[in-house]
Structure 1
Amino acid sequence: MALVSPYLNFKGTCEEAFNFYKSVFGGEFMGEGIMRFSSMPPEHCKPGEENLVMHVALTIPGGTTIMGSDFPDSFGEFKRGNDFSLAIAAESEAEARKLFNALSEGGTMGMPLDKAPWGALYGQFKDKFGISWAVNYQYETVPQQN
């Protein structure tokens, strides 16, 4: 079954916020820790955004994971309402496609479900109630980009 986690967006203060959350809750940053936009292919990193946080995940005692990133200017206007979303970690590609298609029906597409540079199937949308979602299925082996 898919896991759902809060995903928080910040205007340049993501690293500071997550270090604070870690000091309050404890826990550990997952994977490689704090990933920067500079780790992405050049077409996904605009000048001046290199040191911004692209992704961080903090697993706190009890098993909850809080995720986040900075919201660069190239993403549009940062405002209340786009400062958080719900992130779905699917267990299979089929589950990711099913959840993405069902939840996005009648909503607004942000990023169609497709292969992402970090070796996942990924997409974003707002559902018909205005709630922002991101669906991610991490491949065990990175598929070839088309």
Structure 2
Amino acid sequence: MASVGTYLNFDGNTKEAFEFYRAVFKSEFVNGIQTFGDLPEDPSNPPMPENIKHMVLHVELPILGGHILRATDAPKEMGFNCAAGNNMHIQLEPDSKEEADRLFNELSIDGVVEMPMQDMFFGAYFGSFQDKFGINWMINFPNK
């Protein structure tokens, strides 16, 4: 089923923020809190620095009306620069890979592509960009 959510980037304090949101919304994490240390080692990538392994890779929390708040830590060591303005994305989860491509291609016209649509290690077809109006978007089609 298609859905829309909000994806937040934090500068190392995602767990603290989401523990707070969990208490406020009286809700529970969808699949717990995944950390960068949970990622399988990949010999084609450099080893992950120890100080990043405890950081949040992904967390999901239902808030109101079926809306899912999602987030990650954005470590500088991995090339992220988390700042006000780039710390939030609208995340679209369409019903098909074709619709994911259509949304990505049309919304990103005259924008800045951060990551083209591609199959990702976390089991989804994913891409991200900033549209021509400066709004950040993520398109995520979970591979079933």
- TM-score normalized by the length of structure 1: 0.88
Cα separation, 1, equivalents of 2:16 and 2:6 = 17
One of 91, 96, 105 as aligned partner of 2:109: 105
Contact 1:110 1:123 in 2 (8 A): yes
1:6 corresponds to 2:6 = yes
SS for the counterpart of 1:76 is coil
The aligned counterpart of 2:65 is 62
Q: What is the SS of the residue equivalent to 1:28?
A: coil
Measure the CA separation in 1 of the matches of 2:28 and 2:95.
22
Give the counterpart of 1:125 among 123, 129, 132.
Answer: 129
The separation in 1 between residues aligned to 2:72 and 2:106, in whole angstroms, is: 26
Partner letter of residue 134 of structure 2?
Answer: G
Task: State the Cα RMSD in Å.
Answer: 1.7
Show structure 1 runs of 4+ deviating over 6 A.
none
CA change 1:9–1:41 in 2 (3 A) is: same
CA contact (8 A) 1:90 1:137 kept: yes
CA distance in 2: counterparts of 1:68 and 1:18, whole angstroms? 8
State the alpha-carbon separation in 2 of the partners of residues 34 and 44 from structure 1: 24
Q: Which consecutive unaligned segments of at least 5 residues does structure 1 have?
A: 141-146
- 1:30-72 Cα shifts (integer Å, max 9, x gaps): 1x21111122243387313111101101012431111111111
Q: Is the 8 A contact 2:4 2:67 kept in 1?
A: no
User: Aligned to 2:82, what secondary structure does the other structure show?
Assistant: coil
Runs of 5+ unmatched residues, structure 2: none
* Correspondence for 1:91: 95
Identity %: 40
Query: Normalization by structure 2: what TM-score?
Result: 0.89
1:18 pairs with 2:14:
no
